[in-house]
A and B are shown apart, each in its own frame.
Chain A
Amino acid sequence: MSTHRISMTVNGRTCEADVPARLTLADFVREHLDLTATHLGCEHGVCGACTVLVDGRAARSCILLAVQAEGAQITTLEGVARGSELHPVQRAFWEKHGMQCGFCTPGFVLTVVELLERHPTPTREQVSEALGGHLCRCTGYVKIVEAVDEAARLLAEERG
């Protein structure tokens, strides 16, 4: 089994490591970088809990090898907050009770961060499409959708 030297930027910091070919990006961030907010809910690309941003786009880190992410910019949940202040998307999830057990939440937050960057006033369809890639067993999604609306509002407020 081959090992490979990889280098990527995670939450703004350059990381270099020697990893086995089969190590997934999810396990790389969780085990090598101690960034455990990226959760493994299924390990076959369906539930979305492991979603991170790869070069700004939401992607499943459980079906992405660390070696494939060579040279990429990765953002995990730990990279979303602005220093000690929550990002508006995080604040919105809090305000609207958009989470219960919190296990699926990191994936949702990153998808919503990307969604609102690309579509600051998303249509119902765009929201459904983005959220449709995530499973939640606790909330029934209602308050997650409300959190998206609230996040859009907070971000718009920020833009002035």
Chain B
Amino acid sequence: MSATAAPPRAFGAPLKRKEDPRLLRGEGRYVADLKVHRMAHAAVLRSPHAHALVRAIRLDALRADPRTLDVVVGADVADLPHILCIDAEETTRLFTQPLLAVDKVRYVGEPLAVVVVEGDRYDAEDVLGLIDVEYEPLPAVVDAEAALANGAPILHEETNVCDVLEYATGDIGAIDRAPHRLRRRFVTQRHAGTPLETRGCLADYDARRDQITLWTSTQTPHGVKRGLAYHLGLPESALRVVAPDVGGGFGTKLQIYQEEVLICLLARRLRRPVKWVEDRWEHFVATTHGREQTHDIEVGYDEDGVVVGVRDHAVTDTGAYLARLTLVEPFIGVAMLRGPYRIPNFEARSAIVMTNKTPMNPFRGVGHIQAAQAMDGMLDDIARERGLDPAEVRRRNMLKPEELPLDIGVGNVLAGPVIYDSGNYPEALRRALELVGYDQFRAEQARMRERGRYLGIGIGCYVEETALGPYESGTVRVEPSGQVVVLTGACTSGQGHHTVLAQIAADELGVSPDDVVVVHGDTDLVREGVGTYASRSAPIAGTAVRNAGMAARRKILAVAEHLLEANAGDLVLEGGRVFVAGSPERGLALAEVAQAVAPGCDLPPGIDSYGIDETDIFHPPTNAFPYGVHVATVEVDIETGVVTPMKLAVVSDAGRLINPLIVEGQYQGGVALGIGGALLEEILYTEDGQPANPNFMDYLLPAVDNMPEILLDHLHTPTPHNPDGMKGCGEGGAIGPPAAIANAVSDALSPFGIVVTRTPVTPLRVYELLVEAGVVAPP
């Protein structure tokens, strides 16, 4: 080994991002920015009714407008397959969605037709108004309970219950035998994902290659390509999907959508590029929602506040159709309900109910938010009932590191059994309490109460299932010029993949991350891939790059061994060269190594392929489980009901981190999402199924002044499931805040016996709780 000090590793360094200068200069290229010669514009006709029969669609006036180039309606594509739900269980009723509604519409926003015009988007919206649809409205149902009631309008057939997932582990009778039992209902509201960039796509048909190219704002270009092949019945070679710059996803862009299929169909038919950009109103009705779920949870516990068992009945109000991964929210909401707590006796039913609302798919943090809200809500209930400190109740119930790995006795089709891999939950709790200043806070809280001010502190904990397979691809290549190129199946929507994957490859090859080019998002260049969601890019895509990098390194050393007549063990890769340790002049540039095995050369003995070009398609053995503890402090103004978040301490463990600066950004951004869920965001529908707030004035995203002071700390317990021990960190920030803040508000208002079980915790809701508790006299 080299006697000199090893150069600093890029892995673990808080490097600033390679992506940024281009974007800062205004050279970003998002789908809406793309222009292709002869491009035509599309617009989508969407149902104004929540539930209606479609009696007729008349296109005469549309066709008479000289701007109209083409139109496709439900009848034209009725033979093509529905949007696929890939996590359906055997018991799941396949209430799937056609590409365009044919004789029934089931939610406001459901697409019925796509029009293409000669002109621009202004023209396209104009001609939409010329389509005459005859609807026969039906009664709508917008509430899961109502959808379950006798006589409820039925969306599909027979029943509005799509499935009931059931889990039981341990001795469920233990709950009934427990010395104490408590039960409560927790309600998590409907959310919209709302990345700042809406969806959109541009399809072009190349007659020379008989190939459609689709540029689309997606988290999964390979998924979209497979989807296009499936829906359109085309071979893979006829399709190329490219993700340009993508302005955020958070789950809203993790599947193929109807518009992507239809825009391709129209482009091919017209033999012209066709572009569709979703507008913000459309996004609220046409892009998948998240989170709406209720838990009726019962805990049995002993004298010391130790939980003996949990029984949960969850209902997910899912919307009008199954989307690609609709069952994840209902699954995770119960499967991960127990969080970091020791609860071997567990029984849960998770019902998935159809209502006349936009379909649901996973949204950042999926299901874990609701789980934390319910479970940590109950632990606070136990604390109140037993007269114990809530943090102490956590301590008494948390799993210890030596109890892991732990199979918690649940699993599903998509991800297999849930086996917590590694972690130190009590230490995360201890650190979070220290970070937020728990003891000092209790003293401060008491002082303020005497002055008529109500401060509260609340805890939310989670264990998160991430790093889903089935696989991800990574390629590391050294070109004859010496350029190091990384290909990845990950698809960035802001996570800095070009930087973090460069960091991994750079370490393997002894170059600077600045000298590594990362390519993603183009299915012609990256042949295999899955995409970015479920916090899988670092653990899965990163590992594929690590493995490919190691293979490239091995080959470089094998070639250099021959060329330098040295042993691989004596060779060092550093500064873009490979040389004998201690004698840097006895070495080669990486370019020379690559040139030595380029086609046309005689391959050295033992080398049986040309080029330095290694690919790994990493199939993770199972999922990883990052975890975290969030502790929030709030002040509640009991005159106005306004909740002001003060601090949010987040101690999380996502294993080893590639780039701590980027990780900080991920947690801070996640927390903002969580604040939105805790205090501001709620998708509302009127009784007859009309979206009540499909815009940014009425659906409230947090702004800078809504943010608490965020205090972050990390533990780094590696997962055994990949060589770098990475667990995935993109979602953790979003999971804890609703639980922590709801509990903090309950804590603030505990002198009045008020418990908050519903998010968002709006001023109106707090006021009504204060009136109910007799603290505020109604006017």
Contacts and interface: CB of A to CB of B under 8 A. Distances in A.
A101 B195 contact: yes
Interface string B272-288: 00000001100000000
A22 interface: yes
B668 A140 contact: yes
Given A99-B20, A100-B665, A132-B703, A46 B696 contact: yes
B704 A86 contact: no
Contact of B701 (A77, A94, A135): A135
Contacts of A41: 196-198, 280
Contact of B704 (A78, A93, A141): A141
Contact of A128 (B661, B668, B704, B710): B704
A136 B196 contact: yes
A140 B670 contact: yes
A20 to B, nearest CB: 8
A81 interface: yes
A97 B280 CA distance: 27
Interface string B695-712: 111000101110100100
Interface residues of A, number: 54
A102 interface: yes
A76 interface: yes
Interface string A96-132: 0101111111100100000000000000000010011
Contacts of A5: none
Interface string B22-37: 0111111110110100
Interface in A135-152: 135-145
Contacts of A63: none
Nearest to A47: B696
B279 A43 contact: yes
A49 B280 CA distance: 13
A105 B665 CA distance: 15
Contact of B494 (A40, A49, A101): A101
Interface in B439-493: 493
A29 B428 CA distance: 50
Nearest to A77: B26
B26 A137 contact: no
A72 interface: no
Nearest to A37: B26
- The interface size bin for chain B is 35 or more
A101 B246 contact: yes
A52 to B, nearest CB: 11
Contacts of A97: 16-17, 661-662, 664-665
B245 interface: yes
A27 B707 CA distance: 32
B248 interface: yes
Contacts of B24: 77, 81, 86, 90, 93-94, 99, 102, 105, 109
A78 B26 CA distance: 5
Nearest to B672: A140
B567 to A, nearest CB: 42
A81 B25 contact: yes
A137 B28 CA distance: 18
Nearest to B20: A94
A34 to B, nearest CB: 8
A32 B328 CA distance: 44
Contacts of B670: 140
B216 interface: no
Contacts of B701: 135, 137
Contacts of A99: 20, 23-24, 494
Given A135-B196, A137-B195, A137-B673, A100 B16 contact: no
A153 interface: no
B296 interface: no
B660 to A, nearest CB: 10
Contacts of B21: 86, 90, 94
A22 B248 contact: no
Chain A contact surface mostly: loop
B427 interface: no
Contacts of B662: 97
B28 A37 contact: yes
B26 A139 contact: no
A42 interface: yes
Contact of A102 (B23, B122, B198, B705): B23
Contacts of A158: none
A46 B703 CA distance: 11
A145 B704 contact: yes
A43 B280 contact: yes
Contacts of A95: 16
A30 interface: yes
A143 B665 CA distance: 7
A110 to B, nearest CB: 11
For B197, B250, B671, which residue has the most chain A Cβ atoms within 10 angstroms?
A: B197
A36 B197 CA distance: 13
A109 B20 CA distance: 13
Contacts of A78: 25-26
B247 interface: yes
A142 B671 CA distance: 11
A139 B672 contact: yes
A44 interface: yes
Nearest to A144: B704
B250 to A, nearest CB: 7
B523 interface: no
Given A103-B195, A144-B704, A40 B665 contact: no
Interface in B42-74: none
A35 interface: yes
A59 B83 CA distance: 41
Interface string A15-57: 0000010110001001100111101111110110100000000
B120 interface: yes
Given A101-B195, A139-B665, A140-B710, A46 B697 contact: yes
B11 to A, nearest CB: 17
Contact of B705 (A77, A132, A136, A140): A132
A31 B32 CA distance: 10
Nearest to B15: A97
A98 B250 CA distance: 18
B193 to A, nearest CB: 8
Contacts of B671: 140
Contacts of B496: 100
Nearest to A23: B122
B762 interface: no
Given A36-B29, A40-B32, A100 B196 contact: no
B29 A49 contact: no
Nearest to B193: A137
Interface string B703-733: 1110100100000000000000000000001
Contacts of A37: 25-28
B258 interface: no
Contacts of A142: 668, 707, 710
Interface string A73-92: 00011101100001000100
A36 B33 contact: yes
Interface of B: 16-17, 19-21, 23-30, 32-33, 35, 120, 122, 194-198, 245-248, 250, 279-280, 493-496, 661-662, 664-665, 667-673, 695-697, 701, 703-705, 707, 710, 733
Given A109-B24, A139-B672, 18 more contacts: A31-B120, A36-B26, A36-B33, A37-B27, A44-B280, A86-B21, A90-B25, A94-B24, A97-B17, A99-B20, A99-B23, A102-B28, A103-B248, A131-B703, A132-B704, A137-B196, A139-B668, A140-B665
20 contacts: A36-B26, A36-B28, A39-B247, A40-B32, A43-B279, A46-B697, A100-B496, A101-B248, A102-B20, A106-B26, A128-B704, A132-B705, A135-B701, A137-B194, A137-B250, A139-B668, A140-B669, A140-B707, A140-B733, A144-B704
Interface of A: 20, 22-23, 27, 30-31, 34-37, 39-44, 46-47, 49, 76-78, 80-81, 86, 90, 93-95, 97, 99-106, 109, 128, 131-132, 134-145
In the A-B complex, the 5 residue pairs with the closest CB atoms: A37-B26, A101-B494, A103-B247, A100-B494, A140-B668
